[in-house]
Amino acid sequence: MNCKKVEKLILRAFDGRLTEDEKKELEAHLKQCPQCRTTQEEYQLILDTLRKEDFPEPKPYFLERLQPKLREVKKYEPWMVWKQWGMRAIPVSLLVIIFLSATLILFSPPREEVELSQAFSQSGLLLLQNQNLFQETTTLLETGGTEDKNMMVIFTSIDDKNGTRRDF
């Protein structure tokens, strides 16, 4: 067996990953090859030193220092909370979108009014219609906003019932 293959066996032996046959092969080779014996000794020294590596004590009050940080993140980085609940929030967001679309369809301006505005071509009336339309859009957006808030309230209260509010 060549020494390059033996180096592989030496390395695998440190992890207890040799078959009985491989163990015998390695022993036999080491007996008659001083170069591979040195290789093995060097690896042994390196691994012993690594395993003896001492670690300093972790700094004190680890948990006590961690808890306020978690609270801070929740307070000032809401995207983290969004990320945290992101997966669960998807169905809720879908519901909000469906609800909003339904509102838009149900509360769109009546047909007669649109026909009326087409019949009257005076600029004053158009301007008036535009203003109305603008107002309607604003109202819709506002309703959307409150609905969003409502959904959020419902969302949080569901969490509360399940005891999943993550206050620290």
Partner 1 sequence: MEEKDLVRSSKEGNEEAFASLVKKYRVKVFNLAFSLTRDRDTADDLAQEVFIKAYFALPRFELRSEFGTWLYRITINHVRDFLRKTSRMKRLSIDEIKESSIPQEDETMKREKEQTEERRKKILRRAIQILPDKHQVILSLRDIQGLSYEEITKILRISPGTVDSRLHRARKLLRKKLAPFLSQKGGNHELQEG
- Binding residues for Zn ion, rule: CB under 5 A, are 3, 6, 33, 36
- Residues 121-155 as b/e (b if ≥16 CB within 10 A, e otherwise) read eeeeeeeebeeeeeeeeeeeeeeeeeeeeebeeeb
Site string for partner 1, 80-119 (x = CB under 8 A): xx-xxx-xx-------------------------------
Distance of closest approach, residue 80 Cβ to partner 1, in angstroms: 5
Asked whether position 58 contacts partner 1 by CB under 8 A, the answer is yes
Residue of 131, 103, 104, 138 lying closest to 117 (CA atoms): 131
Asked whether position 23 contacts partner 1 by CB under 8 A, the answer is no
163's contact among partner 1, Zn ion, none, with CB below 5 to 8 A by partner kind, is: partner 1
When the beta carbons of 26 and 36 are compared against Zn ion, the nearer one is: 36
